[in-house]
Amino acid sequence: MSAAADPTPVPADPTPTTPLDPDAADPFGWLEDVEGQAALAWVRERNAHARRTLGADPTFAATEAAVREVLDSDARIPEVARIGDRYYNFWRDAEHERGVWRRTTLESYRSATPEWETVLDLDALGEAEGVSWVWHGASMLRPTPEQLAAGEPWRRALVDLSPGGSDADVTREFDLVAKRFVPAAEGGFERAVVTGGAKGGLTWADEDSVYVFTDFGEGTTTPSGYPRIVKLWRRGTPLAEAATVYEGTADDMYISARRSRTPGFERDVVSRTIAFYRSETFLADSVGTPEQTLTKIDVPDSAEVGFHREWLLVELRDDWTVPGRDGERTYAAGSLLAARLDDFLAGVRDLAVLFAPTPTTSLAGATWTRHHLVVNVLDDVTNRLHVLTPPDGGPSDAAWTRTEMPATDPLAAVGTRAVDPVDSDDVWVITTGYLTPSTLALATVVGPDGDGTTGTTAPEPLKAAPAFFDADGLVAEQHFATSDDGTRVPYFLVGPAEALHPPQGVQGTAPTLLYGYGGFEVPLTPGYSGTVGRAWLRHGGVYAVANIRGGGEYGPAWHQAALREHRHRAYEDFAAVARDLVHRRITTAAHLGAQGGSNGGLLTGNMLVRYPELFGAIVVQVPLLDMKRYSHLLAGASWTAEYGDPDDPEQWEFLRTFSPYHLVEAGRTYPPVLLTTSTKDDRVHPGHARKMAALLQACGKDVTYYENVEGGHGGAANNAQAAYMSALAWTFLRQHLA
């Protein structure tokens, strides 16, 4: 029996030989037993220590209350999704800790005090069923045109619920008119209710069938625990009789399917995720019958595809060279391309270029309305919105009509989201900045006018979040640091004007927190946080956000520059920003902290062991830290495209250089560190944080550890837990940096 599976802890040397030998027995491997008695006893002891050192701090209760007030505020913007003639919202507050799914009309939503109709109360459901349910979302079945013409309402939904907040969840059919779950005894669809949850889901095919991709038993999941088989399940039949639509290989990452029900453009789509950044998409015909066929969309595995009516969109991660009518043509990585789907399936490879990257620009996203496409571009991490209208005819690569929406504050992020891409040209416009509370407006995208350009109506302001803190005297700026290899690395800076610009010759000592992520092509853009403002900025703190390589701020190339053997570049970038904050005389190393979660937890773990001299305190949340074991723990196998395969000796040679668990040295000085995680995190195994804390403790380092009992990878299952976890971090940072 392995140490990780043994419920009895393996005795560890009080001061283990460090760095740890990855080929020897792991002295703290027993902490990987998530629910093991010995492991949970250790967790309880460390949690008690955190409560004594942080929870008893005189500022803790006030910080927790201030954060909770933000999270529970009725003045927050309730984001809505249009379903038929109703607008749905999921909402948590002090009265609804687990949350309430509710709906209203647009007319009521426009008012200062909308009248909400409760559809599903999760607190009441959890109490009735004795399960700590956490909302994972819902998908609705669009009625047919005939049903809509007859006045039939949107009735059928599939609701995803997680016990405790883990990624594994259940799916249950819900009647939106009767506002109740449809029991299996009445033919309702239910997934994994008995077993307590599995990773996967259900998606609607029609009123009486769904696609199901889940754990069907031994051999039906991938090494990451995700589904590798998708089936068509017909109402009133046992799940065991569902017809297999597609089965991936044992090494794939995720298999799923869905049906687009846009009238006149109904399509069944099967998705095969081979690994992160590699996938295949198929169009399926005669699904679930012996005559079933699958037609692969012939694009690079690294590309992403999307469908809207007659159009196919292709977003490239790598250069793509294809034959065209005028010879070979190469489309650049990071481009967004369009073609008529029928032409593409017929072999035409002349595509319209809707966006092509430059050294400072990248595609942040795109959203379809009924007739138009709104493209969101980042230019040096500043949003620019463009409206594109496809041509009525001509070849697939015919030019689209284009116009720019008005520019916004460069230190505010702007996003758009279609209200209803099937029937409407309305879009939500969401604006948010570090010091500017979020606003929500409604605009309509209009077609080409007399000069051939498109545009939008003047956005109608609908909602504005309150100012949760006084921003007087605070400023937000963007700066650039220079990394070790000369790369220009942007970062945002927020804080008191006098702290950001100290008098000439004066070395500032402002308590400063540097936040980062740097992975999976995720960009960090400005956003309003009442929590940061209340808990940090209004106490004289400075807040910085680093846009390091590995993220998506400059598109695929920015991400790929820090993959696998190049991971060190992300850490060099973050360290460069830390040094720049000192160089600008804003702070000193003793007053500078770092914070990050998940992949950002791996980042801050590396700051701890590789650059301890740059920081006065470090917060590491739901992290990866043991890069020798990560691919064998929960969903870790799905991330080898990002980090590398530790089971390959050649790849382990570079992985070990950024495996914090194997870089701890007992004789080295480290800044104080707070590690937090969740017992219910079934994405990043809590063993990473547990083992790192135990090792640092055994080496006599200043380490504080707290593990929430539920909450999944988000770390908290309700606002009360989120406020408590947040207060732990802010109290820790103030203790060591202020």
Out of 598, 631, 678, 726, pick the active-site residue: 598
Would you list the DSSP string of 183-194? -GGGT--EESTT
The DSSP output letter for 152 is P
Single-letter residue type at 567: R
* First-to-final CA distance of the chain: 48
Active site residue 286: no
Q: Which tokens hold the place of 699?
A: 């080496």
Please compute Rg for the chain using Cα positions: 26
Instruction: Supply the DSSP string of 622-683, one letter for each residue.
Output: S----TTTGGGSGGGGGGHHHH--TTSHHHHHHHGGG-GGGT--TTS----EEEEEETT-SS
- Dmax (CA) for the chain in angstroms is 80
For 169, 658, 703, 717, 737, the CA distances from 676, given in Å and listed in that order, are 23, 20, 11, 14, 19
Residue 465 near residue 438, CB atoms below 8 Å: yes
- Cβ 600 vs Cβ 675: under 8 Å: no
* Cα atoms in the Cβ-side hemisphere of radius 13 Å centred on 515: 19
User: Are 658 and 571 spatial neighbours (Cβ–Cβ below 8 Å)?
Assistant: yes
Among the listed residues 591, 662, 713, 736, the single catalytic one is 713
CA dihedral 469, 474, 477, 481 (to 10 degrees): -100
Residue 433 sits at φ, ψ, to 5 deg, of -140, 165
Residue 111 is classified by DSSP as S
Nearest residue to 429 (alpha-carbon basis) of 399, 397, 462: 462
Chain Cα centroid distance, residue 444: 28
479 is catalytic: no
DSSP result, 377-409: EEETTEEEEEEEE--SSS-TTPPPEEEEPPP--
Sorted by sequence, the CB contacts under 8 Å of residue 135 that are 6+ apart come out as 90, 98, 99, 101, 122, 160, 161, 162
Contact 576, 516 (CB under 8 A): no
CA distance 591 to 479: 20
Task: Give the residue numbers marked as catalytic.
Answer: 598, 713
